[in-house]
Amino acid sequence: MQGLRIRVRGQVQGVGFRPFVWTLAQGLGVTGHVLNDPEGVLIEAYGPVASLPDLIRRKAPPLSRIDAIEVSEITGKSPADFRIIASSGTGAETRVTPDAATCDACLAEIQTPTDRRCGYAFANCTHCGPRYTILRALPYDRAQTTMAEFPMCPDCASEYADPADRRFHAQPIACPVCGPRLWIEPAHEDPIAEAAARLRHGEILAIKGLGGFHLACDARNAGAIANLRRRKHRPAKPLALMGTLAMIRQHASPTEAEVALLSDPSAPIVLLSSNGTLPDGVAPNQSTYGWMLPYTPLHHLLIEAFGGPLVMTSGNLSGEPQVIGNDEAREKLAPFADAFLMHDRDIARRLDDSVERITPHGPMILRRARGHVPGTLPLPEGFEDAPQAVAYGGQMKAALCLIKNGQALLGHHLGELDEALTWEAFQQADRDYAALFDHKPQVVAVDLHPDFRASRHGTARAEAEGLILQEVQHHHAHLATCMGENLWPLDGCKVAGIILDGLGLGPDGTVWGGEILLGDYLGFERAAHLSPAPLVGGDRAQAEPWRNALARLDQAGLSDWADDLFSDAPRDMLRMAATRGLNAPMSTSAGRLFDAVAACLDICSAGQSYEGEAAMTLEALALKAPSPDPHHAYHMPETPNGFDVSQMFKAIRADLGNQTSIQTIAWRFHAGLAQTFATAAAALVKDGQAKAVALSGGCFQNALLLDLTLRALGDTPVLIHTKTPANDGGLALGQALIAAARAKATPESM
């Protein structure tokens, strides 16, 4: 009998895909079978099968992501029925599904008094629940997860074995009889009720979630928030919030796009404009708050019992990764928490919450973590036969990337690699992703900076395993990431990249960060840049904005103003260091320019309590500028030494003398920076040297700067980040693409 063999590639395992196909087959009267294998899902079907491929694509399960459906005709003996048969093959050519927020069906069950899972904190099905955070190894089955120690009761086993049930082969399946257990310390017979009561009394709770512990308190209680900040030594960094959509709407006015993003199965933290109804301590000096919906049954039950929004910030010691183990939490979080809401399902690997925002130009990912990894991204045309490559990213916001078979696995946010536990997590991620992706690289890519721990790690691996090592300049990698995300083809024309960030080593030995690069995957040239200034004190210049302001004001002939602004600072010592070039590398960093402007406005002048505080405060101020006029943007003329910012600082001083508001000054700075770089980059497109402009680097997390730059570019073709972070969290993707492109261009080196 004639039939079809249907190969489905993508995120199609652990999402209920086989029972979905089984249900379609029953409805069509089709016979045959469906199975999982290393390449995805394979179907052999006989009978009235003509519509089956289209139905698969149109009605696929909510957590699935189909990359390709390949169909071929087959001839054989028609089976009597349609069956789900055992998986075959070894290896990993398909995706592992990310963790997903509680689906509506499971939520209804935990809220229905007559359901056997009513009030159960670990309900899940093939449409939701933990995946990557409980997975120890492939293949993805219960024995390879942290659910292995919970044998299924007869009722769960029956659901697990029934193709018509939405829990068919749901590996984390559980119920109160056989699954994980919830408790609170100090002990109480009703942990959810006790946790809610403690939160109402202003206490701080450590709560075990999917990818780690959170510290929670009443988001409406200024005293509780101040207590959390004091205990955690976190004076100003914004705190994440959790609440139902109705609660969020009491404190913000999310758009349809923002509601859709909040409600996505990835359940990210979404930055929303604040209406000022919560205590200032939630996010001091900021105009946006980070909100997320409850994404596990435990969160839903707790929020419902508490009856209001909660602060839900990472449970960790300052600088360390999020705590994931119960004993670790008791040891490290005891100084912060008054009680612990715990459970006995182990977390196989820590995952922070993802952070995103909606801009006038679409979504923006600030931190790629839970809900997104280990999902993959398609590679641009021309990379189909690229060699397997691994890239190790940068030093800050570390994340690594693997490419294989036309797909890129961009790993999760890890943090600052100087921290010992983060370094351990980085090494674990390297092992995990290699095993999960069955990855055997031929090429290793690292940042050009030889002292980055990730660079040393990659270099050592390449030497030990005889792999090709490719060193990639930091800002070239940013450019390639933006190009790759937008599927710019390997043989496409050159792109003008506006790359604005904090720091990256340039091939000339100076520190770059405010650049226009003209290039493609294979190479680049530096077309324009900010005028350089010394970073006096090296890394301390990142922490103390006044140092950057002093250097810029001295260059502008405004030393007398610097003396007035920073009268208590050791100015003479810094000026001597700058003159002699002692620990004062020259830098074109846009991030440090933000710091310098902020310090001139008395914002975080002496020091920042967290990375980006000065720049984020400047953005928040600029968004409040009354009736901003683009014609009054600060001018930064192009000179042989780069875009000269001296006139801007003179204009800022004059505006302050004229009682111009700091909100307006902050806006004029944003607009001037945007117009300066946009004009120069657009000219490269206009004269035919480039076909588009790409915007990348951590400064483009700033939604106002992004918007103003895009407005200034007008109808010039533009590439922006919507699926990968513009910051260093996306850097490894660009490194991997550049390394693969070089390897393809010189195959004799392979």
Catalytic residue IDs? 18, 36
Q: Among 504, 612, 523, which residue's Cα sits nearest to residue 515?
A: 504
Instruction: Supply φ then ψ for residue 138, to 5 degrees.
Output: -90, 155
Burial (0-12, 13-18, 19+ Cβ within 10 Å), 749: exposed
Sequence-distant (≥ 6) Cβ neighbours of residue 664 within 8 angstroms: 625, 626, 628, 655
Axis-axis angle for helices 646-657, 590-600 (nearest 10): 20
Burial (0-12, 13-18, 19+ Cβ within 10 Å), 185: middle
Give the side-chain half-sphere CA count within 13 A for 657. Answer: 7
Residue 677 in contact with residue 500, Cβ under 8 Å? Answer: yes
For residue 205, what are the β-bridge partners? 216, 339
Residue 498 in contact with residue 693, Cβ under 8 Å? Answer: yes
Q: Report residue 47 as tokens.
A: 């009978």
CB atoms near residue 609 (< 10 Å): 13
Query: Distances in Å between the alpha carbon of 682 and those of 220, 223, 629, 712?
Result: 47, 51, 21, 9
Collapsing DSSP states into helix, strand and coil, what is residue 675?
helix
Q: Report residue 525 as tokens.
A: 């040239």
Over its C-alpha atoms, the chain yields an Rg (Å, rounded) of 27
Residue 245 in contact with residue 300, Cβ under 8 Å? Answer: no
CB atoms near residue 98 (< 10 Å): 25
**C-alpha–C-alpha distance, residues 31 and 630, integer Å:** 66
Q: Among 240, 24, 222, 19, which residue's Cα sits nearest to residue 127?
A: 19
For residue 8, what are the β-bridge partners? 41, 69
- Using the 8-state DSSP alphabet, how is residue 100 labeled? B
Length of the chain as a residue count: 750
Q: Strand 40-46 vs strand 31-37: parallel, antiparallel, or unpaired?
A: antiparallel
Q: Report residue 482 as tokens.
A: 């933006």
